[in-house]
């Protein structure tokens, strides 16, 4: 186990592993190259899929001389995990796995990921690093409302919080009234949840007359789904905490691949363990730093499931410019959405988080929403279903006015024409984990 070294507590420069987090960019690149060579060689030797993929493009592990050579390697995509379901992409015998996680998989087979002892140790270290980066400290009481089970959120956050030296309340998702009781009684200082579930908790607390904002909660570590700056402000105000963005995905590790620091200008991606690229999703070519593209990640220290150029489908920008917090690791800008969640409505690209940012700005509208997409004739049609407060939702006149105002804002800010259907409080399904933002009713082709 890597011993965690703590810099001065309660300053912005508090880091779980200062030596790793402030390494010079040159030293990081050298470490990346060394680890990349080992990863590629291991994957070639032990995983038939990776060997075949490299052979197909005429790449031998010895050809990797610089980090730029990585661009010659083919991508790995989610479909490859499904094709080799359940254990076919592992680089270790099944007996060496201490744990597996899996995605629920809305279509077909789930994707299965696995961890050796060393992988679990590294994951706990990187989660502890992420928590500290977000502002958590040893001694904090962390109320963990990420789902426990096959989803990586619950257990990933759990072991990271323990590694940092925090008291973990392993709540999991759901049973919201009980969550509020325990948040108040145990005096949690940090809340971990998806942003949509955190909103659900805030609302439920208000209904019960519990003022969580007046209590000791000071930090929310929210992720696992796209969310907007506007939602950040909403959660901060309702819960009386600083809301920080955390990113990760099971195929690469789980939560803790990247996390915001107090500068809140992008999420530091831990480059001693992962290599980040952004590509044009159409051509597969790298885009220059600062340009929006699909995030592609290669693991550098994973034993069980080395991933080579994994296409995340997440759209973001990268920045290696210096950060005020002192960390040298690349910043991954807030993820606006997934390629596959992007709607193209009459030629306009729309992400749910863009609509969310507009809805949060209306005082009578609650940020509980779903986007319903249908085919009308040859065109796609978007209806934004959104809840209003009871006063507005119960009056046809007020509801019409609110709908018109929202429609107008969406048209002028995003450029897309849509219908807006005002719903009563509670009519939009609440999430206990990742919120379902899109109902796509278009015929499947
Ligand atoms: O969602 C891991 C996680 C758990 C991250 C808890 C953060 C907190 P998956 O279920 O495999 O893993 O889903 C990964 O969720 O590719 C993104 O599309 C999305 N996602 C995760 N974090 C963020 C974020 C976990 N901060 C997929 N912002 C990723 C936007 C996010 N999208």
With a 6 Å cutoff on the Cβ, whether 258 touches ligand 1 is: no
With a 6 Å cutoff on the Cβ, whether 134 touches ligand 1 is: no
With a 6 Å cutoff on the Cβ, whether 256 touches ligand 1 is: no
Tell me whether residue 360 is in a domain. Answer: yes
Tell me whether residue 276 is in a domain. Answer: yes
Please give the Cα distance from 86 to 71 (Å, whole number).
Answer: 28
The per-residue pLDDT for 202 is 96
End-of-domain residue from the set 316, 339, 362:
339
| Residue whose C-alpha is closest to residue 47's, from 102, 87, 7 | 87
Please give the Cα distance from 133 to 234 (Å, whole number).
Answer: 22
The H or E element spanning position 102 is strand 99-102
Q: Specify whether 308 is located in the same domain as 371.
A: no
16-49 per-residue burial string, b: 16 or more CB within 10 A, e: under 16: bbbebbbbeeeebeebbbebbbebbebbbeebeb
The per-residue pLDDT for 3 is 39
The per-residue pLDDT for 107 is 61
With a 6 Å cutoff on the Cβ, whether 223 touches ligand 1 is: yes
What distance in angstroms lies between residue 258's CA and the mean position of ligand 1's atoms?
10
Q: Specify whether 216 is located in the same domain as 350.
A: no
Please give the Cα distance from 166 to 138 (Å, whole number).
Answer: 5
Tell me whether residue 290 is in a domain. Answer: yes
- DSSP track, 5-71: ---STTSTT--SSHHHHT--HHHHHHHHHHHHHHHHHHHHHH-HHHHHHHHHTT--GGG--SGGGGG
Tell me whether residue 170 is in a domain. Answer: yes
Q: Specify whether 347 is located in the same domain as 332.
A: no
Atom of ligand 1 nearest to the CA of 312: 16
Q: Specify whether 328 is located in the same domain as 375.
A: no
| Residue whose C-alpha is closest to residue 419's, from 373, 352, 350, 361 | 373
Find out whether 140 and 113 touch, Cβ atoms under 8 Å.
Answer: no
Phi and psi at residue 267, to the nearest 5°: -105, 125
Q: What SS3 state is found at 323?
A: coil
Residues in the chain: 445
Q: Specify whether 334 is located in the same domain as 347.
A: no
What distance in angstroms lies between residue 73's CA and the mean position of ligand 1's atoms?
25
Q: Specify whether 169 is located in the same domain as 24.
A: yes
Tell me whether residue 445 is in a domain. Answer: no
The per-residue pLDDT for 380 is 87
Q: What is the domain range of residue 235? A: 1-339
Tell me whether residue 40 is in a domain. Answer: yes
End-of-domain residue from the set 270, 304, 339:
339
Q: Specify whether 282 is located in the same domain as 348.
A: no
Tell me whether residue 155 is in a domain. Answer: yes
Q: Which of 76, 144, 247 to mutate to test the pocket of ligand 1 (most atoms within 8 A of CB)?
A: 247
Give the chain's residues under pLDDT 70.
Answer: 1-13, 105-107, 445
Phi and psi at residue 263, to the nearest 5°: -70, -20
The per-residue pLDDT for 370 is 96
Q: What is the CATH number of the domain that holds 386?
A: 3.30.300.30
Please give the Cα distance from 139 to 93 (Å, whole number).
Answer: 38
Q: What is the CATH number of the domain that holds 11?
A: 3.40.50.12780
Atom of ligand 1 nearest to the CA of 245: 26
The per-residue pLDDT for 445 is 67
Which own/partner pairs from 346-355 qualify as long-range (CB within 8 Å, at least 24 positions apart)?
A: 346/379, 346/380, 346/416, 346/417, 348/414, 348/415, 348/416, 350/382, 350/414, 350/416, 351/226, 352/226, 352/437, 352/438, 353/226, 353/227, 353/228, 354/228, 354/413, 354/414, 355/384, 355/410, 355/414
Residue nearest ligand 1's atom 13 by CA: 249
Please tell me the chain's helix, strand, coil percentages from 3-state DSSP, rounded to the nearest 5: 35, 25, 40
The per-residue pLDDT for 6 is 43
Q: Specify whether 222 is located in the same domain as 334.
A: yes
Q: Specify whether 98 is located in the same domain as 187.
A: yes
Q: Specify whether 328 is located in the same domain as 362.
A: no
User: CA quadruple 307, 313, 316, 317: dihedral positive or negative?
Assistant: positive
Atom of ligand 1 nearest to the CA of 313: 16
ω into residue 86 within 30 of 0, thus cis?
yes
Within 13 Å of residue 87, how many CA atoms lie on the same side as its CB? 12
Q: Specify whether 361 is located in the same domain as 255.
A: no
With a 6 Å cutoff on the Cβ, whether 123 touches ligand 1 is: no
Residue 94 DSSP code: G
Q: Say how many domains are in the chain.
A: 2
- Token pair 């955390």 is found at 246
Q: How do strand 365-376 and strand 438-440 relate by DSSP bridges?
A: parallel
End-of-domain residue from the set 306, 339, 372:
339
Tell me whether residue 9 is in a domain. Answer: yes
The per-residue pLDDT for 9 is 42
With a 6 Å cutoff on the Cβ, whether 173 touches ligand 1 is: no
Residue nearest ligand 1's atom 30 by CA: 226
Planar angle of CA 58, 60, 66, nearest 5 degrees: 110
Q: Specify whether 61 is located in the same domain as 146.
A: yes
Find out whether 339 and 324 touch, Cβ atoms under 8 Å.
Answer: no
pLDDT in tens, 360-397: 999 999 999 999 999 988 888 999 999 999 999 999 99
Please give the Cα distance from 259 to 246 (Å, whole number).
Answer: 4
What distance in angstroms lies between residue 248's CA and the mean position of ligand 1's atoms?
5
Residue nearest ligand 1's atom 15 by CA: 224
Side by side, which strands form the sheet with 419-423? 419-423, 379-388, 365-376, 438-440
Backbone angle region of 438, left / alpha / beta, with phi > 0 → left and psi within -120 to 50 → alpha:
beta
With a 6 Å cutoff on the Cβ, whether 312 touches ligand 1 is: yes
The per-residue pLDDT for 378 is 81
In the chain the first and final C-alpha atoms are separated, in Å, by 50
Q: How do strand 167-169 and strand 438-440 relate by DSSP bridges?
A: unpaired
């Amino acid at each position: 186990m890597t011993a965690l070294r703590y810099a001065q507590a309660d300053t912005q420069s508090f880091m779980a592993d200062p030596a790793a987090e402030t390494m010079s960019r040159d030293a990081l690149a050298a470490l990346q190259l060394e680890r990349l060579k080992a990863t590629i060689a291991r994957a070639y030797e032990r995983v038939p899929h990776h060997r075949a993929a490299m052979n197909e493009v005429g790449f031998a592990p010895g050809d990797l001389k610089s980090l730029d050579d990585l661009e010659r390697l083919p991508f790995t995509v989610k479909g490859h995990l499904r094709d080799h379901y359940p254990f076919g992409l592992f680089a270790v015998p099944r007996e060496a796995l201490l744990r597996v996680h899996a995605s629920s998989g809305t279509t077909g087979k789930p994707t299965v990921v696995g961890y050796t002892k060393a992988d679990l140790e590294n994951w706990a270290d990187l989660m502890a690093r992420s928590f500290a980066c977000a502002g958590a400290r040893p001694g904090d009481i962390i109320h963990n409302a990420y789902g426990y089970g096959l989803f990586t959120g619950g257990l990933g956050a759990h072991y990271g919080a323990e590694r940092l030296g925090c008291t973990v309340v392993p709540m999991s998702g759901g049973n919201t009234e009980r969550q509020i009781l325990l948040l108040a009684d145990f005096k949690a200082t940090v809340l971990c949840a998806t942003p949509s579930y955190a909103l659900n908790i805030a609302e439920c607390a208000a209904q019960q007359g519990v003022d969580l904002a007046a209590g000791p909660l000071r930090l929310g570590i929210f992720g696992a789904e796209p969310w907007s700056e506007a939602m950040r402000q909403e959660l901060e105000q309702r819960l009386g905490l600083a809301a920080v963005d955390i990113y990760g995905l099971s195929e690469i590790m789980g939560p803790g691949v990247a996390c915001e620091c107090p500068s809140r200008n992008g999420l530091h991606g831990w480059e001693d363990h992962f290599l980040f690229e952004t590509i044009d999703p159409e051509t597969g070519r790298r885009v220059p730093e600062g340009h929006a593209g699909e995030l592609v990640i290669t693991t550098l220290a994973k034993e069980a499931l080395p991933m080579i150029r994994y296409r995340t489908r997440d759209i973001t920008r990268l920045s290696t410019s210096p950060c005020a917090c002192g960390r040298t690791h690349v910043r991954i800008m807030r993820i606006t959405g997934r390629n596959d969640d992007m709607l193209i409505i009459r030629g306009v690209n729309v992400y749910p988080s863009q609509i969310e940012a507009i809805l949060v700005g209306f005082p009578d509208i609650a940020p509980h929403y779903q986007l319903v997409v249908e085919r009308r004739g040859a065109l796609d049609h978007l209806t934004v279903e959104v809840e209003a407060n009871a006063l507005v939702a119960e009056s046809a006149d007020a509801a019409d006015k609110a709908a018109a105002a929202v429609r107008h804002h969406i048209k002028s800010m995003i450029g897309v024409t849509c219908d807006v259907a005002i719903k009563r409080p509670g009519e939009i399904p609440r999430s206990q984990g990742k919120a379902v933002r899109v109902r796509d009713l278009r015929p499947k082709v």
